Amino acid sequence: LEKILLNGELVNRKIAIDIEDRGYQFGDGVYEVIGVYNNIAFKLEEHLERLFESAEKINMDIELTIKQLKEKVLKLKKENLLKDGLIYVQVTRGITRRNHAYLDNKIKPNLIAYVLHQNRLPSEVYQNGVPVILTKDIRWLRCDIKSLNLLPNVLAKQNAIEKGAFEAILYRNDNITITEGSSTNVFVIKDKTIYTHPANNYILNGITRQIILDICIKLNLKVQEIEFSKSFLLNADEVFISGTYIDIVPVSRVLGEDVEFTNQKSITFKLMKELNKLTMSI
Ligand code: PDD
C-alpha cells in the first residue's frame, strides 16, 4: 500500500486535507520535485536546501532541519520501493480561519511528500528534440520562489500541449526577454557560446541549470548568464531546455515560427553526455 510522508510520519495515502489549509485556499506554500535514478535521489540535498530557501522567502518556518527531512524523504523512497521516478515534497503554511493575512506566526506548517513511479522520456526525444511554443510570461515577480501558485505555468503548458508542443518557453512582455520554460530552464547556443537567463527574481534557478553551468566550466565552454531576446533564440544554433528528471532536452523547432534547429546539436549532446554520467554514476 502506498505510503506518504505527513508531518514527519509515514502514513497511508488516504488522508483528509482541511479545507482551510492555506496551501489549498491560497497556494500559500512551497514545493520541490526530486528525480530518482536507479534508486538514487539525485541532488536531494540541493533540492531540500532550495525548499528551505523558498520557505524562508515567504516567512515560513519548516520546523525541521534539512538533515531530518532528508532522512524522512529517503525513508519514504525506500518504503515505496521507488527505483525510477519523482519525489514530490510540499510545505503549506498550515490551517487558519480564511483570511488573506496569516497574522499568527505560530501556525503549524503542513508538510507532505509522496513518490511518483515514472519512466524516463523515450530516447527519441533526446535524439530528435522537441517542438516548443513561445508564449507571454504572465507570472509574478518572484519566480525565484518555488511557490505552489502555478496557474500561469499550468495555462502555458496546457497551451503548449494543445498545440502539439512539449513546452512553452516564456518571454516577458516588456522587452521580449526570454525567461524560462513553464517548468524548465532555457539555454541557447550561438557561435559556441551558451546563453541562459541570469538567476534572479524572473526565473527559478534550476538545480539542473546549476549543474549544467558547472559542466560548462569543466568543459571550458563559454557561458553568458545574460538576458537575451526572442529573436536571439530564433536565430540560435542550438536551443535546449532543462529540468529535474527530463535533464537536458534539445529543442527541434518553434511552432508558429519559421525556424528549425536542424543543424548538429553538438554542444547540446556534449552537455547531455556529461549530465548522464552524473545521473547514472552516483
Ligand atoms: N519544475 N523553472 C521552473 C519554472 C520550474 O518549475 C522548474 C522545475 C525548473 C527546473 O528546475 P530544476 O532543474 O531544479 O528541476 C525551472 C519541476 C520539475 C516541477 O514543477 O515539476
Q: Which atom of ligand 1 is nearest to the CA of 182?
A: 4
The pLDDT value recorded for residue 174 is 78
247-254 and 85-92 strand pairing: unpaired
Ligand 1 pocket, residue 180 CB under 6 Å: yes
Ligand 1 pocket, residue 60 CB under 6 Å: no
Q: Which atom of ligand 1 is nearest to the CA of 47?
A: 14
All residue ranges of the chain with pLDDT < 50 are none
Give residue-wise pLDDT tens across range 40-92: 999 999 999 999 999 999 999 999 999 999 999 999 999 999 999 999 999 99
149 CA distance to ligand 1 middle (Å): 13
85-92 and 259-260 strand pairing: unpaired
For the entire predicted model, the pTM comes to: 0.97
Q: Which atom of ligand 1 is nearest to the CA of 146?
A: 6
Ligand 1 pocket, residue 156 CB under 6 Å: no
DSSP 168: E
C-beta separation of 134 from 167 below 8 A:
no
For the chain, the residue count is: 282
Our separate counts of H helices and E strands in the chain read: 8, 15
Going edge to edge, which strands form the sheet with 110-117? 9-12, 3-6, 110-117, 85-92, 29-37, 40-41
The pLDDT value recorded for residue 282 is 52
Give residue-wise pLDDT tens across range 80-123: 999 999 999 999 999 999 999 998 778 999 999 999 999 999 99
The pLDDT value recorded for residue 258 is 85
C-beta separation of 78 from 86 below 8 A:
no
- Catalytic amino acids? 146
Ligand 1 pocket, residue 90 CB under 6 Å: no
The pLDDT value recorded for residue 108 is 95
C-beta separation of 73 from 5 below 8 A:
yes
Q: Is residue 19 classed as helix, strand or coil in its secondary structure?
A: coil
Q: Own/partner pairs for 121-129, CB < 8 Å, 24+ apart? A: 121/246, 121/249, 125/166, 125/249, 126/248, 126/249, 126/250, 126/272, 128/250, 128/252, 129/240, 129/249, 129/250, 129/251, 129/252, 129/253, 129/261, 129/265
